[in-house]
Amino acid sequence: MLGINRKLEELEKNGEIIKVGLVGAGQMGRGMVSQIENMVGMRVVITADIQVDNATNAYLKSGVVATDIVETTDETEAVNAVKAGKVVATSDAQLVTSLSEVDVVVDATGVPDIGAKIAWDAILNKKHIVMLNVEADVTVGPLLKKMADASGVVYTGSAGDEPGAVMELYDFAEALGFEVVALGKGKNNPLNLEANPDTAAEEAARKGASPKMLASFQDGTKTMVEMTAVANATGFLPDKPGMHGFVGTVAELPEIFQLKADGGQVENKKIVEYINGVAPGVFAIISSEKEEVNHEMKYLSMGEGPNYVLYRPYHLCSLETPISIARAHIYKEATIAPWEGLQAETVTVAKKDLAAGEFLDSIGGFTVYGHILSASDAKEQNALPLGLVDKNVQLKRDIKKGEIITYDDVVQTKDSTIWRLRRMQDETIASKSAVKVPVKS
Residues ≥6 apart with Cβ < 8 Å to 150: none
User: Are the beta carbons of 237 and 167 closer than 8 angstroms?
Assistant: no
Q: What is the CA radius of gyration of the chain?
A: 22
Tens digit of each residue's pLDDT (9 = 90 or more) over 156-201: 999 999 999 999 999 999 999 999 999 999 998 889 999 999 999 9
Tens digit of each residue's pLDDT (9 = 90 or more) over 103-118: 999 999 999 999 999 9
Taking the chain (441 residues) in runs of 10, the rounded mean pLDDT of each run is 90 97 96 97 98 98 98 98 98 98 97 97 98 98 98 98 98 98 93 93 87 92 98 98 97 98 97 95 98 98 97 96 98 98 98 98 96 97 97 97 98 96 89 41 32
Q: Which domains does the chain have, with CATH numbers?
A: 4-159+318-331 (3.40.50.720), 162-314 (no CATH), 344-428 (3.90.1210.10)
How much is the pTM? 0.95
